[in-house]
Amino acid sequence: MSDNGVPRESPVAVAADSGGTSAPVAQFQSVQRIYRMGDQEVRALDGVDLTFRAGEYWSIVGPSGSGKSTLLNVLGCLDRPSEGTYFLGGEDTGELNDDALSELRSRRLGFIFQSYNLIPQLNVLDNIMVPLLYQSHPPADGEERARELASRVGLGDRLDHRPRELSGGQMQRVAIARSLVNDPDLVLADEATGNLDSQTSMEILDLFDELHSEGKTIVFVTHEASVSERAQRVLVMGDGRVCEVRETARLAQELAT
Amino acid sequence: MRGSGIIASVRLGISSLMLHKLRSGLTTLGVLFGTSSVIAMLAIGEGASAEAQEQIKRLGSQNVILRSVKPAEDQNQGSQTTRILSYGLTNDDYERVATSFPSVGRVVPSRLVAQEARFEDRMVPQPRIVATTPEWLEVSGRLVENGRFLTKSDSVGAKNVCVLGTELARDLFLFKDPIGQRVKLGADYFDVVGTITPRVRFDSDAPGAGEETTQELFIPLSTADNWFGDMNVSRRAGSFNAEEVELHELLIGVDNKDNVIGIANAAREMLERFHDEKDYEVVVPLELLAQAEETKRIFNIVLGSIAGISLLVGGIGIMNVMLATVTERTREIGIRRALGAKRQDIVAQFLVETVVLSVGGGLFGVALGLAIPQIVQWYTDMPTLVTLQAPILAFTISAGIGVLFGIYPAWRASHMDPVDALRHE
Ligand SMILES: Nc1ncnc2c1ncn2[C@@H]1O[C@H](COP(=O)(O)OP(=O)(O)OP(=O)(O)O)[C@@H](O)[C@H]1O
Ligand SMILES: [Mg+2]
């Protein structure tokens, strides 16, 4: 991993915490994620300390292979740390079994993927409602919420369309609606605009901004520097470590108002 | 996927299967043919054995029947043009049998008389004329249709009376009431006093009851002794054959099923002692019934194995397709897991699909399985009998096959790593 431009001997990993006052939503304590293949070891995450607080708006950047997706997967309880501890909403996820993690995903987390990942045999409305399907106590107004979210992302008139009848941008809007249907504590997006043209990307990012202004906690991974500046804070990954945490102009602007 | 979600998950399962209509359809064929062949084979087997059992039951399962049989070695004897063959049960046999088991059975003797029957200008050349005693009705289990059966006073007085079976009554009298008419047997006239049905008292509503096969007519044994003697004469192409048989049948009505075998064995022993050659047979309907049941049991085992194998093949087909489906839908599994599906939810989802496939196959199989016996019966006159258990059993097994063979693919699906599954192309 030395070809990624980040010096291996970069300063001791940065402990990323905005030092803000709101409650921590997600917290990493020296998290490592190590892939072992035979006698080879890949440290996808190599000692990460992080705190994401409620209402914060983060972007993660870094060269390919630096561990951005791995970080997001651990944040989303899809993957577990090999070492270290991950607290989600004050709960040590290391203590939880597979079922409890699944329940956490369905209640507290929202995912948006680069390749949309809608279920092909379900229509728009049913796709949006999938996370509710797996909650042990699904809300009574689930369908109503799903309809509202669909109109909010501009697809109120496409409820019974199948994913293959939608454009990429529309599919990603469905995915966003789906990520919000369970009113998550944390919305995670991995290169959500990676497959979209710049115009559509802007529309999606405008949606993110809107969510942020409503107080949602958002963490998104991106390749593009310009896109990362949309967030309040930028986390720069390199070689499985946090290289830098930078506040953006947006934060300064928000603090000023 | 809980509680009320069952309908939703079945609907989802169906819509997933409909993405590959041809494949899903072909997959159900294995179970379809397995199920339908179970039902069809059971129906045909049941039909055949029900008919056999009915015939045996009509003999009376509490009866032991001793019959005269023409001894085998005498049949091609010599080339004489005149011979008198004397064989079979004798009146002495009757006395011995009757006095041996007075407490457990009634013994009814009967003899067949070879005469033609006439009424006005209609003639039946070879009716089955049974000369017997009044107890015959009770022991054989037959039922009177009109009038009465033979009575004690008919016997004692050796009266010229007769009772007709339904078929002979129809053949001789057409639609006329035979009672009070006179039938001519050989050279003598007999008053018709009643008719009896072919139906028996023992399980009279069984299929097949009510079909008459013989042109029967009953007269008192004492009358037959007076008029016809023991000699049945037949003349053919210049040769003269006579058979002398004192009694054609001794019907023993046993009071209790438990005693039937004992009495049958005692009767066998006794006849063996007094007969030099085997000019008799002992028919025990209860033993025949047991044999028929044993045959049916073996038949069912063979059938069950064949059906089991065909359903097994169907099940393996389903499992094969489901394994392919799981691999194909790895991505979907990853998505669902990421959105909060537990392992058990994934298991349920794929199990539902397998069960939908096998139950679908099972349902069509039951429909086909119910149709086949009808078609067979239509074309071959083979009796078939669809019992309620057969479709239920077949259907349950096919659904069970779905669960059994769905477990492994579903388990595989549920144990995929979510991150790997999401990355799957
Ligand atoms: N299942 C796996 N087995 C082995 N190594 C893996 C696995 N998943 C990821 N890695 C390794 O972990 C490291 C981090 O991968 P990750 O996907 O997090 O990178 P990334 O920052 O998201 O890159 P990109 O920008 O290309 O998406 C890489 O070196 C990768 O090869
Ligand atoms: Mg990545």
Residue A117: give its domain's CATH number: 3.40.50.300
- pLDDT 10s digits, B281-333: 888 888 888 888 888 888 878 877 887 788 888 889 999 999 999 999 999 99
Tell whether A67 lies on the interface with B, counting CB pairs under 8 A.
no
One domain for residues B248 and B309: no
Residue B208 has pLDDT above 90, yes or no: no
Question: Starting from the edge strand earliest in sequence, which strands make up the sheet with B231-236, in order?
Answer: B82-86, B239-244, B231-236
Position A193, amino acid: T
The most confident of the ranges A105-114, B13-22, B47-56, B388-397 is A105-114
Please indicate whether, in this complex, the C-beta atoms of A133 and B15 are within 8 angstroms of each other. no
Domain count for chain B: 2
Handedness of CA B357, B361, B363, B364 (dihedral sign): positive
Name the residue with the closest Cα to ligand 1, atom 3. A35
Question: Chain B residue closest to A187 (CA)?
Answer: B339
Model pLDDT, residue A189: 96
Model pLDDT, residue A167: 94
- DSSP result, B142-176: EEEEEE----HHHHHTT--EEEEEHHHHHHHHTTS
One domain for residues B299 and B394: yes
Model pLDDT, residue A62: 94
Mean pLDDT across the stretch A159-170? 94
One domain for residues B249 and B200: yes
The CA distance from A119 to A165, in Å, is 13
Model pLDDT, residue A19: 67
Out of A158-162, A178-182, B184-188, which region has the weakest mean confidence (pLDDT)?
B184-188
Question: CB within 8 A of B69, min separation 6: which ones?
Answer: B87, B88, B278, B279, B280, B281
In a domain, A222, yes or no: yes
Residue B149 has pLDDT above 90, yes or no: yes
One domain for residues B324 and B403: yes
One domain for residues B43 and B72: no
One domain for residues B321 and B271: no
What mean pLDDT is reported for chain B?
A: 84
Question: CB within 8 A of A2, min separation 6: which ones?
Answer: A8
Other Cβ atoms within 10 Å of B256 Cβ, number: 11
Mean pLDDT across the stretch B171-193? 89
A81 C-alpha to ligand 1 centroid (Å): 14
Q: Select the residue of B16, B332, B339 nearest A134 (Cβ to Cβ).
A: B339
One domain for residues B295 and B344: yes
Query: Which residues in chain A touch residue B342, judged by CB atoms under 8 angstroms apart?
Result: 98-99, 102-103, 134
Which ipTM was obtained for this model?
0.91
One domain for residues B44 and B78: no
Q: State if residue A69 touches ligand 1 by the CB under 6 angstroms criterion.
A: yes
Contact call for residues B183 and B195 (beta carbons, < 8 A): no
In a domain, A178, yes or no: yes
Model pLDDT, residue B235: 56
In a domain, A236, yes or no: yes
Pairing of strands B63-68, B249-254: antiparallel
Q: State if residue A64 touches ligand 1 by the CB under 6 angstroms criterion.
A: yes
Tell whether B58 lies on the interface with A, counting CB pairs under 8 A.
no
Q: Select the residue of B8, B16, B342 nearest A134 (Cβ to Cβ).
A: B342
Mean pLDDT across the stretch A185-210? 93
- pLDDT 10s digits, B392-407: 888 888 888 888 999 9
Q: Which of B239, B267, B284 is the last residue of a domain?
A: B284
What mean pLDDT is reported for chain A?
A: 90
Tell whether A117 lies on the interface with B, counting CB pairs under 8 A.
yes
At A169, the pLDDT band (50, 70, 90 cuts) reads very high
At B126, the pLDDT band (50, 70, 90 cuts) reads confident
Q: Which of B226, B253, B284 is the last residue of a domain?
A: B284
Q: Which of B222, B255, B284 is the last residue of a domain?
A: B284
Alpha helices per DSSP H over B218-329 = 221-228, 260-274, 285-328
Q: Which ligand 1 atom is the nearest neighbour of the CA of B419?
A: 1
At B102, the pLDDT band (50, 70, 90 cuts) reads confident
pTM, to two decimals: 0.72
Tell whether A68 lies on the interface with B, counting CB pairs under 8 A.
no
In a domain, A26, yes or no: no
Closest ligand to A4 CA? 1
Residue A15 has pLDDT above 70, yes or no: no
In which residue are the tokens 């016997």 written?
A: B155
Name the residue with the closest Cα to ligand 1, atom 5. A35
Model pLDDT, residue B57: 74
Domain of residue A100, residue span: 54-77+95-256
Model pLDDT, residue B211: 42
Query: Which residues in chain A touch residue B414, judged by CB atoms under 8 angstroms apart?
Result: none
One domain for residues B180 and B246: yes
In a domain, A109, yes or no: yes
Query: Which residues in chain A touch residue B332, judged by CB atoms under 8 angstroms apart?
Result: 119-120
Tell whether A103 lies on the interface with B, counting CB pairs under 8 A.
yes
Closest ligand to B419 CA? 1
Mean pLDDT across the stretch B9-22? 84
Q: Select the residue of A73, A98, A130 nearest B339 (Cβ to Cβ).
A: A130
Domain of residue B257, residue span: 62-284
Q: Select the residue of A118, A121, A135 nearest B340 (Cβ to Cβ).
A: A135
H or E stretch including A251? helix A249-256
Mean pLDDT across the stretch A192-198? 90
Residue B229 has pLDDT above 80, yes or no: no
Q: Which residue has the higher pLDDT, B17 or B83?
A: B17
Out of A142-151, A233-242, B144-153, B206-215, which region has the weakest mean confidence (pLDDT)?
B206-215
In a domain, A133, yes or no: yes
Contact call for residues A198 and A218 (beta carbons, < 8 A): no
At A30, the pLDDT band (50, 70, 90 cuts) reads very high
Ranges of beta strands (E only) in A83-124 are 83-88, 91-92, 109-112
Q: State if residue A42 touches ligand 1 by the CB under 6 angstroms criterion.
A: yes
Q: Which residue has the higher pLDDT, B200 or B260?
A: B260
Out of A73-87, A184-198, B76-90, B135-149, which region has the weakest mean confidence (pLDDT)?
B76-90
In a domain, A70, yes or no: yes
Question: CB within 8 A of B153, min separation 6: which ones?
Answer: B159
Domain count for chain A: 1
Name the residue with the closest Cα to ligand 1, atom 14. A67
Residue B205 has pLDDT above 50, yes or no: no
**Closest Cα partner for B263 from B88, B96, B64, B67?**
B64
One domain for residues B173 and B129: yes
The CA distance from A16 to A52, in Å, is 8
In a domain, A46, yes or no: no
